[in-house]
Amino acid sequence: MPPPYADGNPPIRMAEPHVVVNPADGSTTSFSAARIFETKAFQSGGAGAAGTAGDILKLLEIYNGFGSLLAPATIAEAIRNQIGTLPRRSQDAGKRFSLIGAVIDDPKAAASPCPVGTVDWGGVWGHNWIVDPINRITVMVCTNTTPEGCNGPFREDIRDAVYG
C-alpha cells in the first residue's frame, strides 16, 4: 500500500492515526490507513473500499453500458435522480443523488461542464470519478491525498481538463 498523505504544501505524510482539521469550520476527522487490514472493523463504503484502479474502472464502465453485468434498466435506475426535489445545501447546487453518486440535473447551477445525467463521486482517501452516459465518458483519478484528491479543486481541475 502506498503511503497516505493529507493536504498541505507540500502534502503531509499521514501518521497512524492522523487527524485532519477542516479549515472551513475547525472540525476534525481522524484517519487510520491501517483500518482496512482490521478484519473486525465495521464496513465503511465511503472510507473502506479497496481494489485496483483497473477493477474500479471496469465497474464504473458498466454504468456507461460497457459489459453485461447489469441490465440496461438496472443501469438507468442506478444513475437516475432518486431524491426528486428535496432541498440541497448551497454547495450542492445543481446536483441530486442517484444510487451510485451525485447526479447533475442543472449544469449551470452546478458550475459544471458535464451534461445533465452525469454522475460523480469520490472516496475520502483521494480518488474521484465521473460517469457521463450522454458522451459515454468515464473518468477515474486515484491519488493518495486526503481530502484534496476527493473533494478539493483538483477534482474540478481534472473534470475541466477532460471537458475543455
Residue 130 lies in a domain: yes
Residue 32 lies in a domain: no
Q: Tell me which residue range forms the domain holding 89.
A: 52-163
Please give the average per-residue pLDDT across 74-79, as a whole number.
Answer: 96
Count of alpha carbons within 13 Å of 18, Cβ hemisphere only? 19
Please give the average per-residue pLDDT across 25-29, as a whole number.
Answer: 89
Residue 22 lies in a domain: no
Q: Give the pLDDT of residue 163.
A: 96
pLDDT tier for residue 47 given thresholds of 50, 70 and 90? low
Q: Give the pLDDT of residue 38.
A: 81
Residue 78 lies in a domain: yes
Cα 47 off chain centre by: 11
State how far the alpha carbon of 11 is from the alpha carbons of 37, 48, 86, 100, in Å: 24, 21, 37, 29
Residue 115 lies in a domain: yes
**Considering the entire predicted model, what is its pTM?**
0.87
Residue type, 37: F
- Determine the Cα–Cα distance for residues 164 and 59; give it in Å rounded to an integer: 25
Q: What is the pLDDT of residues 91-116, one digit of tens each?
A: 899 999 999 999 999 999 999 999 99
Please give the average per-residue pLDDT across 37-42, as a whole number.
Answer: 80
Count of the separate structural domains present in the chain: 1
Residue 96 lies in a domain: yes
Residue 146 lies in a domain: yes
State how far the alpha carbon of 13 is from the alpha carbons of 53, 59, 125, 151, 155, in Å: 22, 30, 13, 18, 20
Residue 105 lies in a domain: yes
- Determine the Cα–Cα distance for residues 77 and 74; give it in Å rounded to an integer: 5
Comparing 9 with 48, which gets the higher pLDDT?
A: 9
Please give the average per-residue pLDDT across 121-131, as a whole number.
Answer: 89
Cis preceding linkage at 17, omega within 30 = yes
Collapse the DSSP code of 119 into the 3-class scheme (helix H, G, I; strand E, B; otherwise coil) and give the result: strand
State how far the alpha carbon of 164 is from the alpha carbons of 20, 109, 125, in Å: 32, 18, 26
